[in-house]
Amino acid sequence: MPEEIEALVDRAADLIVGAKRIVVFTGAGISTESGIPDFRSRDGIWSKYDPDDFTYQKFLSSPEARKKHWKLLGTDFWFGAQPNAAHYAVAELERLGKLDCVITQNVDELHERAGNSPEKVIHLHGTMRYARCLQCGKRYLMEEVRKWLAQGVEVPDCPECGGLLKPDVIFFGEAMPAWETAEAQRRSSSCDLCIVIGSSLVVYPAALMPRYALQSGAKLIIINRDPTDLDGAADVCLHRAAGEVMSQIIQRVKEKLGLNE
């Protein structure tokens, strides 16, 4: 590890050791190492699909758009993916008693699968775990819905009432979930350290969360491959892949806490 990186890892570990209420904010970049493509990069999802086909309004109005949606959701990268070192490092923060919550833009539930308690994870954009009927509100496990897709159903309807089934994720043009957004703002404003992992902080209102943290005097760590608008305000900024650097940081934290066997 280059000396300069080592110093930043050490500084990040110090901030974590000194913190009591950490809010971790994650975006697509934390899951790319798990094989889930992000949206905006050169090989991202929007290089293969037209984002205009994936708005809430199109989903409601166009059977063709619904077909495309379900085709994209039927692809295996969402469901075969495993948590990576960065997810496990975040779960470790919870075990260490440092974590207030994880606020995530991701719908993959890899934080929970890495060991974070579900009540510690705030999903700003919903999750892929369920599909919901837009007519009667009934929820179905996506695992079940995927079986129907595998059997040749192109656009699944609600078996109860025949209404439209929609994945329980927030589409473009759809309102942000009110409780989650308010809760994320509240938690961000009362943390003492915010760690951004794998987000370029360009999607609003999600990207406001680290700003709320800064405004209330929290420290800020940013780990993202590319620069972000908040780099200048961060106490530590690492332009690296999240998995390796987060496990190094947690390793240092445990050393400092005397927890290494």
Catalytic sites, residue numbers? 125
Closest CA to 170 of 204, 200, 209, 145: 204
Q: Which stretch binds Zn ion (CB under 5 A): 85-93, 125-133, 168-176, 186-194?
A: 125-133
Q: Which stretch binds Zn ion (CB under 5 A): 42-50, 127-135, 181-189, 201-209?
A: 127-135
Four-residue CA torsion sign, 87, 244, 207, 101: positive
Residue 193 near residue 217, CB atoms below 8 Å: no
> Among 1, 136, 202, 257, which residue sits at the site for Zn ion (rule: CB under 5 A)?
136
Four-residue CA torsion sign, 212, 217, 223, 224: positive
215, two tokens: 């405004």
Contacts of 123 (CB under 8 A, 6+ apart): 104, 106, 107, 177, 180
Q: Is residue 154 close enough to count as binding Zn ion by CB under 5 A?
A: no
Q: Is residue 134 close enough to count as binding Zn ion by CB under 5 A?
A: no
Q: Which stretch binds Zn ion (CB under 5 A): 16-24, 55-63, 136-144, 240-248?
A: 136-144
19, two tokens: 């913190």
Q: Which is nearer to Zn ion, 70 or 88 (CB)?
A: 70
> Among 73, 91, 142, 158, which residue sits at the site for Zn ion (rule: CB under 5 A)?
158
Q: Is residue 163 close enough to count as binding Zn ion by CB under 5 A?
A: yes
Please, what is the minimum distance in Å from the beta carbon of residue 166 to Zn ion?
11
Q: Is the peptide bond before 205 cis (omega within 30 degrees of 0)?
A: yes
Interface ranges with Zn ion (CB under 5 A): 133, 135-136, 138, 158, 160-161, 163
